Structure 1
Amino acid sequence: MERSNHNLPPSRDQIWRDMVTIEGGDPSIREGEGFAIGGEGRGGEGGEGRRKGVVTGVGSSGGVRCKTVNATCHASEKQALMDFKKDLKDPYGRLSSWIHDVDCCKWKGVVCSNRSGRVIQLHLQSPANDEVFADPKSPLSGNISHSLQNLTHLCYLDLSLNNFSGIPIPSFFGSLRSLSSSLPSEVFTLKDLISLDTSNNHLNGPIPSTIGNCTKLKQLFLNHNALSGSIPSNLGKLSSLENWDVSHNKLTGTLPESLWQLSKLEVLCIYNNLMEGIVSESQLDNLTSLTFFDPSENSFTLKVSANWTPRAQFNILGLSSWKLGPQFPTWIQSQKILRNLNLSFTGISDTIPTWLFNPSLDSVDLSRNQLHDKSSMISEIVKGLYVHSSQTYSMAYSH
């Protein structure tokens, strides 16, 4: 049978649309004004934010749309941006509007506060042909200058789909204390970070331990780089983290114990790394909000009791290359909203449970296992495929 494609994590645009609203807002960003968050080559206007005073969404042409800024930018912040530009290679002239004679709040990719003139957002993602994982058309490269530390009110930084090949994630990112989120409800401000995105940039080296300083991050995208070493042990300090994607890197070691303290985590993508270790049911039961869990293509072992029922309900579950067998994991039956399941190459040598094939599942990958049953059972599966024609099953049988 046809093998299902590996499930991709939700795009940044999708997460912004479905799961993220900036809490609070700068007093100068009034309802219906504000800004739109630039997407990656997607057209259309941004969706309206769910908190008064903020508009979020997807901007057009991969850029940022904002209203006329009344205040002018601060000289020190303009100089910080000019110093940042000096260390970049920009062969396509994407930063051609960044000149001294023009107010930096009017530069492409820069968003300022209407009231204070402070730089609060930098949207420097490279325009792409597709929504996710596309080759950039006009990537920036070079070095990321420490001058960004002088943007003390910066709350959003997007450098995705560029080509910062051969450089590690700058350690000073962790010292950008304004890059945090969960603002007090009584204060409308955009000081705190909602999302940090450095994906698709060929970054190498370890994840700096200073990332633990950004204690209020909600969105952290480090995927599709060449990061190595272990995950910092202080990851648990990111107590507001909801979405974390560190897939397609070269990370090693075990998952830090503090990871299981992230009770608000909804999306966790670690697939295609070089990690190992044991994951227990007590650890997983701490992540009750988790719905998208894909740590496939690592060497983890799941240790659970025979009667374990997970506290989380997974929508996407990828455990490819884990050690699960030889028995088929019966706890899968407790997952009522499961849509995509990947249990390929997990050491299962068992019969196929009749409860597995149901209308709620869109994709099941059981390949590279030793599944066996009577031919009549296979006939029932084929019949189920006919009834649910949108479903994709991938299996390897021994009968």
Structure 2
Amino acid sequence: MATLILSLLLWILANNTIVASGCMEIERNALLTFKAGLVDPQNLLSSWERKDCCKWRGVVCSNTTGHVMKLNLRGSYDMLSEEWLCLSGEINPSLLLLSNLEHLDLSMNNFSKNSIPAYLGSFKNLRYLNLSYLYFGGTIPPQIGNLSKLRYLDLNSEFNYPSVIRIDDILWLTRLSSLKYLDLSFVNLNTSTDWLHAVNMLPSLKVLHLFLCSLPGISTSLSHFNLTTLKVLDLGGNFINSTLPTWLRNLTSITYLDLSSNEFHGIIPDEFLYLSTLNHLSLGYNVFKGMNPKALRYLCNLTTLDLSSIGFGGEIMEWVEMLPRCVRNNLQSLYLGYNNLKGNLSGWLEQMNSLTDINLGSNLLGGSIPTGVWKLPNLISLALYNNSLEGVVSDVEFSYLRKIQYLDLSFNALIVRVRDDWVPPFQLKGIALASCQLGPNFPAWLKSQSQIKWLDLSKTKIADTLPSWFWNMSRFISYLDLSDNQIKGRLPLLMGFTMLWYLNLSSNQFEGPLPSLPHNIQIIDLSNNFFTGVLPNIVLPQMEYLFLSNNGIGGRIPSPLCESTFLEVLDLSNNNLSGEIPECIGKSQEYLSVIDVSTNNLVGGSLTPFARRNIFRC
């Protein structure tokens, strides 16, 4: 009996899992060597001092062997501290000692001085690799094609754009036969003429993002089509000049299709008849001549339809009637902006009760906004800008918008009348009422809106002072335009508005000294006011446009202005500036194309950088 029990125990030990007590010493040392090559100002890896590396931040070990299986050091943005929590430095090859690694995520960090290391292609067990948003440069190494077990590959380089990371020869991609997810957005593929052939060799692929990749073209037909499992296809922003490919009809599993911002032309064909699983269809910003009336007939699962700026004209009602009833009932997002559609909103829009997002801006629509549109129960975003809509919009209509977050009624003949004591049932993140009749009083109902990120009340006939609560309304505001009104008063210090990148208060009646501005601001227009005092002696490293003309600003041009190395336009004309123009202006600002300091009391200065470009006016 004892022999039998011993044999049974040995069998259990040999055939069942054995829990490891902690991480491997060799792998712990490898991680510490990797850490030594990183710059970690926020001390994100403070836990990387304990004995057991399996308990370190971002490290996941196998419960059975103790080997490191997963390393997730993805960066993030902290909304409270308003800063990026990320690492920089270099990716040390000591990581190769993590020979059992299956998951590696270093995304949203800053390795701007590096290229993607070729040795990352040596992780034979890797199934997940995310190197997106890392500011890498150079060429993506073909050794990535050695990761034969890889199922997920994300090399999205949006943060690095317009700097270029590229692939010279994409055929290494064909060796990743197990790949299910691929994102090469913002990677330059302009020499990869065989990109479609390479992708077509990935029979398991379900998601493909190739947004803004400078694709050199597209084959309109394929002799053999392998992408029958593809669910997501994003080819937006590539300026592909072609008719729509006939192989689209073979995407029988597709749910998301984005072909926007290209140069596809001709008639939108009936290829889409076959894509009954489609939820999202974006064909906007192309040059189609029209659409086959049957093209969308069977797309009853469609929830998002984007046909913005494709040259459509005629009566909007006739176009909508081409949509089958099931689409009109289920559609959640409808984008038809920047076309030449005529007619009004009555008789069709208020019947689409599932809509959450509507953009009909920049068309030829007229009439009033029907009450039924305001009553759409799920509306989150409504954009009707730049049409010929008319009538009165009051707090009665606004009260129906309980879920609204984004509202743009700009550039219509609308009159907005809202009671001063009205409290909205919503919290807006963005509102634009430019050129609507809103004044003369500043809208008091905005006091309750604490989440606004962009606000445009330009040309709204406001003749008032800004209430004290306005500057406490939202610390997250990033875009503010109150230009072309008659707003009076002084400006407070604006340095606390750390998200603000666009500020336009031009053509008002503001007075007093110029405010101190937030560090990251990019576009400033305070022209045509009554500002006095001197230019603030502060550094604005991200500033691109500065308009301060037609004020009463005196003193000298401060030399810290030279540290705005991204400056493109500088207009200080018609003020009381004196002294010399700093010689550094223009020498360290390679993007500077226009500078106007005329009608001041300036003397001397360095004209040389501008003489050959004919942009200096003094």
Q: Secondary structure of the equivalent of 1:333? A: helix
TM-score, L = length of structure 1: 0.62
User: Is 2:501 the counterpart of 1:397?
Assistant: no
* Equivalent of residue 68 in structure 1, options 189, 203, 209: 203
> 1:339 maps to what in 2?
453
Q: Secondary structure of the equivalent of 2:407? A: strand
Matches within 5 A, 1:124-139: 125-126=259-260, 136=262, 139=263
User: Are the equivalent residues in 2 in contact too, given 1:203–1:225 (CA < 8 A)?
Assistant: yes
> 2:266 maps to what in 1?
142
C-alpha distance in structure 2 between counterparts of 1:363 and 1:257, whole Å: 30
> 2:430 maps to what in 1?
316
> 1:164 maps to what in 2?
288
User: Is 2:355 the counterpart of 1:241?
Assistant: yes
Q: Secondary structure of the equivalent of 1:143? A: strand
> 1:200 maps to what in 2?
309
* Equivalent of residue 259 in structure 1, options 373, 385, 393: 373
> 2:444 maps to what in 1?
330
CA gap 1:288/1:151 in 2 versus in 1, 3 angstroms: same
C-alpha distance in structure 1 between counterparts of 2:468 and 2:388, whole Å: 34
C-alpha distance in structure 2 between counterparts of 1:39 and 1:249, whole Å: 34
User: Are the equivalent residues in 2 in contact too, given 1:212–1:238 (CA < 8 A)?
Assistant: no
> 1:277 maps to what in 2?
391
TM-superposed deviation, 1:154: 4.1
User: Are the equivalent residues in 1 in contact too, given 2:203–2:228 (CA < 8 A)?
Assistant: no
Deviations 1:44-78 (A, max 9, x none): xxxxxxxxxxx9996747999897369xxxxxxxx
Deviations 1:256-310 (A, max 9, x none): 3321232212122222222222222222221211111112111111232231111
* Equivalent of residue 123 in structure 1, options 257, 280, 289: 257
TM-superposed deviation, 1:227: 2.3
In the comparison of the two structures, how many residue pairs are matched?
A: 300
Deviations 1:224-277 (A, max 9, x none): 322222235222232222222222222222223321232212122222222222
Counterpart AA for 2:455? L
CA gap 1:256/1:122 in 2 versus in 1, 3 angstroms: same
* Equivalent of residue 366 in structure 1, options 464, 476, 482: 482
Flag structure 2 segments of 5+ consecutive residues without an equivalent. Answer: 1-149, 166-179, 188-194, 206-215, 236-246, 511-618
CA gap 1:338/1:102 in 2 versus in 1, 3 angstroms: closer
CA gap 1:354/1:163 in 2 versus in 1, 3 angstroms: same
C-alpha distance in structure 1 between counterparts of 2:229 and 2:219, whole Å: 12
Matches within 5 A, 1:30-179: 60=185, 68=203, 94-96=218-220, 98-99=221-222, 102=225, 105=228, 118=252, 120-121=254-255, 123=257, 125-126=259-260, 136=262, 139-146=263-270, 148-149=272-273, 151-165=275-289, 167=290, 171-172=293-294, 175-178=297-300
C-alpha distance in structure 2 between counterparts of 1:348 and 1:158, whole Å: 39
TM-superposed deviation, 1:366: 1.6
Q: Secondary structure of the equivalent of 1:323? A: coil
User: Is 2:442 the counterpart of 1:307?
Assistant: no
TM-superposed deviation, 1:342: 0.9
CA gap 1:277/1:147 in 2 versus in 1, 3 angstroms: same
> 2:493 maps to what in 1?
384
TM-score, L = length of structure 2: 0.42
The alignment-based identity, stated in percent, is 26
CA gap 1:351/1:104 in 2 versus in 1, 3 angstroms: closer
Counterpart AA for 1:143? I
C-alpha distance in structure 1 between counterparts of 2:184 and 2:373, whole Å: 33
C-alpha distance in structure 1 between counterparts of 2:379 and 2:299, whole Å: 21
Which structure's relative contact order is higher, taking Cα pairs within 8 Å and 6+ residues apart?
1
Counterpart AA for 1:159? L
User: Are the equivalent residues in 1 in contact too, given 2:258–2:283 (CA < 8 A)?
Assistant: yes
CA gap 1:238/1:174 in 2 versus in 1, 3 angstroms: farther
C-alpha distance in structure 1 between counterparts of 2:364 and 2:423, whole Å: 32
Q: Secondary structure of the equivalent of 1:283? A: helix
Q: Rg larger in 1 or in 2? A: 2
* Equivalent of residue 225 in structure 1, options 317, 320, 339: 339
